[in-house]
Amino acid sequence: MMPSDSAVQFDSSGRLRHFLTINGLPRETLTGILDTAESFMSFGQREIRKVPLLRGRTVVNLFFEASTRTRTTFEIAAKRLSADVINLNAARMSTSKGETILDTVRTLEAMHTDMFVVRDSASGAAHLIASHLPSHVRVINAGDGRHAHPTQAMLDMFTIRREKGGFDGLCVAIVGDVLHSRVARSQIHALSTLGVAEVRVIGPRTLIPTEIESMGVKVFADMAEGLSGADVVMMLRLQRERMEGQLVPSEQEYFSRYGLTEEKLRHAASDAIVMHPGPINRGLEIASSVADGERSVILSQVTNGIAVRMSIMATLMGGADGGEETG
């Protein structure tokens, strides 16, 4: 958790102002976001796929790190709320000419931006921006370094609740490159807050953070043991671009030991679901037969992400009623 995250996320009246991290958010806040997302789920099938909740508001997708999937779902979510959306690949903008992140944000804020969706390879970037903006401007963390990816965690929680009916009594296994994963950290915080029975992390010791057990998880180096009886299997991307040194012997050996195959999946509960935040490295983290199999909910995660991000945007801007349609 970045310093003073909780203080920055809430305004003086205790209302959620920014969405920077799951850590420190109460269960009621997370449940409220999930409930509101449920009301937005039907929009994809409507003839008119918009509500006027953010009409007249401007949302800037400020991505200092590329991510087509995340940026696209945020863009769709904002447009379905009737916001004006500006997509900026900030890595190619003025920051490469020596202008700081805060200079860029202040310039955009002067153009009457109401919300920034920020993605950066540096941990704490969204927090830094949020702490330097006027009170009426909102910030959503779309992934920062190894710190957090809270909207991904919330769409994962929404998917689990839809597939499993709730969180009580569930055993969830998170598999792979936990060391470099901001998604895993946010998932662990969310799962713990929402009351699952057990969270496990599985992977080679070189890819498991030394302090991870302090987060209340159980650590396994063996897939069969770690997957035994699991209700949810959450695979992680092997983030080779973030690795310093040789942390895995070879891709072939990694897949042999930690890639999810149909054989390994048999150790989990018979009705276990398989998840992955994407993008998938097929044949490295997961076999195609599993990724495309009947227990996979990977495409549902993508669909659900739009409704969840709509919910978070609406909640921050003070209009979390998903029932009103445009005429």
Whether 72 and 128 share a structural domain = yes
- Dihedrals phi, psi of 153, to nearest 5 degrees: -60, -40
Residue-wise pLDDT tens digits, 217-262: 999 999 999 999 999 999 999 976 544 445 676 888 999 999 999 9
37 and 120 housed in the same domain: yes
Same domain, residue pair 104 and 193: no
Q: Say if residue 156 is in the same domain as residue 273.
A: yes
Q: What pLDDT score does 323 carry?
A: 40
pLDDT of residue 98: 57
Percent above pLDDT 90 for the chain = 76
Q: How many domains does the chain fold into?
A: 2
Amino acid letter for position 254: Y
Give yes or no for residue 164 having a pLDDT over 60. yes
With a cut of 50, say whether residue 140 has pLDDT above it: yes
**What is the residue range of 142's domain?**
5-149+303-316
24 is written with which tokens?
Answer: 């420190």
- Is 43 part of any domain? yes
* pLDDT at residue 5, rounded to an integer: 60
Percent of the chain with pLDDT over 70: 89
For residue 314, how far is the Cα from the chain centroid?
A: 17
Nearest-CA neighbor of 101 among 119, 82, 75, 83? 119
Residues 292, 155, single domain; the answer is yes
Q: Judge residue 199's burial from the number of C-beta atoms within 10 Å of its C-beta, 0-12 exposed, 13-18 middle, 19 or more buried.
A: buried
According to the model, what pLDDT value does residue 326 have?
37
pLDDT tens column, 49-101: 789 999 999 999 999 888 888 999 999 999 999 999 999 876 655 455 556 88
- The secondary structure of residue 286, as a DSSP letter, is B
Ranking 27-41, 98-112, 214-228 by mean pLDDT, the lowest is: 98-112
Place of tokens 């945020």: 74
What pLDDT does 46 receive? 72
Residue range 26-53: average pLDDT?
Answer: 89
Q: Is 326 among the domain residues?
A: no
Backbone angles phi, psi at 152, to 5 degrees: -65, -45
Please report, for the domain that includes residue 287, its CATH number.
Answer: 3.40.50.1370
Q: Would you say residue 286 lies in a domain? A: yes
Residue 195, helix vs strand vs coil? coil
Question: 128 is written with which tokens?
Answer: 């830094």
Q: Helix, strand or coil for residue 19?
A: strand
Same domain, 278 and 289: yes
The larger pLDDT score, comparing residue 289 to residue 246, is at 289
DSSP alpha helix (H) spans, 176-222: 182-194
Residue type, 313: M
| Residue 68 pLDDT | 86
> According to the model, what pLDDT value does residue 327 have?
34
Structure confidence by residue, pLDDT tens digits, 290-302 = 999 999 999 999 9
Position 325 in a domain: no
34 pLDDT more than 80: yes
- C-alpha 263/C-alpha 290 separation (Å) is 10
Nearest-5° angle of CA 85, CA 69, CA 108?
30
Provide the CB-side half-sphere exposure for 77 (13 A, CA): 31
Name the 3-class secondary structure at 178.
Answer: coil
Q: Which two tokens stand for residue 8?
A: 């920055």
